Structure 1
Amino acid sequence: MWNDRYAKTDSGEVLMSAKRSKQDIAYDHRDCEELTKDGPSVSNIPNWDIVEAHIVRKPLPEIQHWVDRCRGRHWPPAQLLEAARVAPCFLVPSGHPDSDYKREEWRLART
């Protein structure tokens, strides 16, 4: 069944809707007196960023490409590159409000 929880790309891929994900978080906190929205964060706690994130369970070639590109340079140090290579990776909803593709846009985040 098709609904607004999903977004279909021009190439036919079906993705979870980033826009709907952020709306769901705001709806869950609708009774809060003060709700702050900033990028992928929707928070009812002052000075806190609360972001719904989906863990990526497999290594991403984008991360390895970045590590390979940086290897052998003065910065970042080898320890940081190794930490980046093995750190958990998450997808967070990040559709820009003015984008035509805000339902499809997700951001890659690391811990």
Structure 2
Amino acid sequence: MDTTQLLKGVLDLAVLAVLKDEDGYGYDILRRLRAAGLDEVGDASVYGTLRRLFQSGFLTTYVVPSEAGPHRKYYSLNAAGRDQLNRSAKVWREFASTMDTLLDDRGTAA
């Protein structure tokens, strides 16, 4: 199964989840997503998702100067973002539970 379409549907949730406990800059967030097993996530998709989540009011940003290279824009989950994460996680868990039921054949009559 091609996971690309699945990933498009859950990338917002995945990015919010990655930022739940620790702020991060674009490449750091991408690296954490890949380390978690989302190997197929693309750079442009993550950066676009960060912009969209920021514009939607779920993230705040701040810049950290760097002597070794360009300044880094860090993203942080704010209260609205935490609420969105909780809502989206609930929807995901209900959906995943339904899919588990279908796949385990518990949802069909004998």
Q: Same fold (TM over 0.5)?
A: no
| Structure-2-length-normalised TM-score | 0.22
Higher helix proportion, which one? Answer: 2
Higher strand proportion, which one? Answer: 1
| Structure-1-length-normalised TM-score | 0.22
